Structure 1
Amino acid sequence: MALRGVWQLQKLIVSYCDWGGSSKGIRAFMETHLLAFKEKNPQLEVVTELIRGQHPHLKGSYKNHNQRVVCVKNLMPEDVLLHATRLRNALGRKLRAIKHTAWFGGAVSESVMLFAAGILCISTIIFVRYNG
């Protein structure tokens, strides 16, 4: 993804094994889709790396010096292309949990319900006492 018009992924490293069966999909990806992917993304440096005896993976290096590694063992070439595109579209920020404030948490809504139920009980008791 581009942040202010600048693509954040600088380098994509395609690591594979020329012998292992788990690299079959990434080898097919390199034969069919990699050249077109390079042509569509001239801002991106794409490097292939032969690592024997290891499962294949894609490693993305971003401008903010973060890296993301995606294991692509036993995937089809289209799935490898999908993961490469997702790495390209990512901003490279670290993944973190979304923090919820107290206004949106379950505890506040439960206490509001209990407060409303308490008013309802008090008003019912007062109504019964005055009418009874």
Structure 2
Amino acid sequence: MSNSHLFLKSGFPRAPLQNGVGRYICQLQRITLKFCKNNGSSRGMREFIEKQLIDFAKENPGTVVYVKPRRHRTPVIVAEYLNGDREWHNCRNLSKEEITQWITLMKTQNGSSSSLRLRKMWHTDMPSIQGPWTPFTLKNPASNLVIFPNEELSKPLDVEKSATEKLIELFREQRLSEGKLEENRGN
């Protein structure tokens, strides 16, 4: 087992601001694109800024976008969320498409998903040794010895009429009763 969870914050899962209950609120508050104007490792970031940044800003009016040129530094994306969390991603030698994918990922997250060790809401001193329930748990073991194709298992189940068939039958009965009423009126 890994001990990497020792350095993560821990907490219980919760929906931020009850997001999605009434309407969706994008949790990405601001995003900062840091890059070098001359360095070759920032080429993808510069292409993204030149060709796709305006479209991203128009599609996401609730997200503030900062562009910060820095000399002789690796390109970085810093995302800040409504819950106060900050995430950053190193974009050294990434293409424009890869940067677009990372920004889309950051836009759809809530900030705490990758930096929070989730705890359970319950605890037990004696966990089950039987394993999880599956659809095959209570099946008859004799069904494991059946040789396929099997005619008995291939027969259609005795199912009642479908709703469409019932409606057609009711319609025919109504037509017949209307026809009898017209015959009685005629007599």
Shared fold (TM-score, shorter chain, > 0.5): yes
SS at match of 1:61: strand
Q: How does 1:1-132 map to 2 (within 5 A)?
A: 3-4=19-20, 5-94=24-113, 95-97=115-117, 108-109=129-130
d(CA) in 2 for partners of 1:99 and 1:65? 20
| More strand as a share of residues | 1
| More helix as a share of residues | 1
Deviation, 1:80, is: 0.4
User: What is the aligned residue count?
Assistant: 107
CA contact (8 A) 1:102 1:108 kept: no
Deviation, 1:97, is: 4.1
d(CA) in 2 for partners of 1:49 and 1:10? 17
Deviation, 1:108, is: 3.0
Unaligned runs of at least 5 residues, structure 2: 1-16, 132-187
1:41-97 CA distance string (max 9 Å, x none)? 111111100111110011011111110001111011011011111111111115234
CA RMSD of aligned residues (A): 2.4
SS at match of 1:46: strand
d(CA) in 1 for partners of 2:36 and 2:119? 41
SS at match of 1:6: coil
> Residue 60 of structure 1 aligns to which amino acid in structure 2?
A
Q: Give the fraction of aligned pairs with identical amino acids, expressed as a percent.
A: 23
Length-normalised TM-score, structure 2: 0.51
- Structure whose alpha-carbon radius of gyration is higher: 2
